[in-house]
Chain A
Amino acid sequence: NAGVTQTPKFRVLKTGQSMTLLCAQDMNHEYMYWYRQDPGMGLRLIHYSVGEGTTAKGEVPDGYNVSRLKKQNFLLGLESAAPSQTSVYFCATLVGWGNEQFFGPGTRLTVL
């Protein structure tokens, strides 16, 4: 039982390049979230999904897109990376509203 996994763990991009971050979960949770964590800013919600085939914008969605084609996977895409997107990205899942979130180990992204 792996819980929540994130791929890749580290990545360095040049400005303008694109990439996709993968979050996978084996807990059959309905809700999935993408956060970014920056020093002094705390965890900020980028996008979230309340079930397969659904997505919604969070607090800081600009420059990111997401897809949830399968219940177990939540993808975060950067179409044209910018230095402001240098951050640590965390995926989280939730079994149901009002419950605790389960977090993945994070992806450290640097955009040069």
Chain B
Amino acid sequence: EDQVTQSPEALRLQEGESSSLNCSYTVSGLRGLFWYRQDPGKGPEFLFTLYSAGEEKEKERLKATLTKKESFLHITAPKPEDSATYLCAVQTTSGTYKYIFGTGTRLKVLA
């Protein structure tokens, strides 16, 4: 069964304290892996798409990487405004139009 697991569930960082969020997946075949940011009371907002192992994408303080079994979202020198829930989703090559979401990591960055 296709599955996406995110860890940790919650993470508290001091401003400037770098860390990584993990998204591990077990799927029959990976078409794409997606990272979203979700602020309280709002819909998820797209951050990155990764398609193949070894691929990396960067945006400001965020960097996403992909291996054959997992993806990491690295946060460098975070600021309080980076506080949000980060969601990971995968799309498989099984021929359907469905996306499988993880349960997310709630990040809190303290000033």
Q: Known: A101-B46, A106-B41. Contact between A40 and B103, CB under 8 A?
A: yes
A103 & B44 in contact (Cβ 8 Å cutoff) = yes
* Number of A residues with CB within 8 Å of any CB on chain B: 27
Residues of A within 8 A of B (CB): 4, 31, 33, 35, 40-45, 48, 50, 58-59, 90, 92, 94, 97-106
The 6 closest A-B pairs by CB, nearest first: A103-B43, A42-B103, A100-B46, A43-B101, A42-B101, A103-B44
Sorting the interface of chain B by its residue count into under 10, 10 to 19, 20 to 34 or 35 or more gives: 20 to 34
- A103 contact set on B, CB distance < 8 A: 36, 43-45
B42 & A101 in contact (Cβ 8 Å cutoff) = no
Tell me whether B72 is interfacial, beta carbon within 8 Å. no
B43 & A98 in contact (Cβ 8 Å cutoff) = no
- A48 contact set on B, CB distance < 8 A: 97-98
- A90 contact set on B, CB distance < 8 A: 43-44
Task: Out of A40, A98, A102, name the residue touching B46 (CB < 8 Å).
Answer: A102
Task: Out of B31, B43, B49, B98, name the residue touching A105 (CB < 8 Å).
Answer: B43
B102 & A98 in contact (Cβ 8 Å cutoff) = no
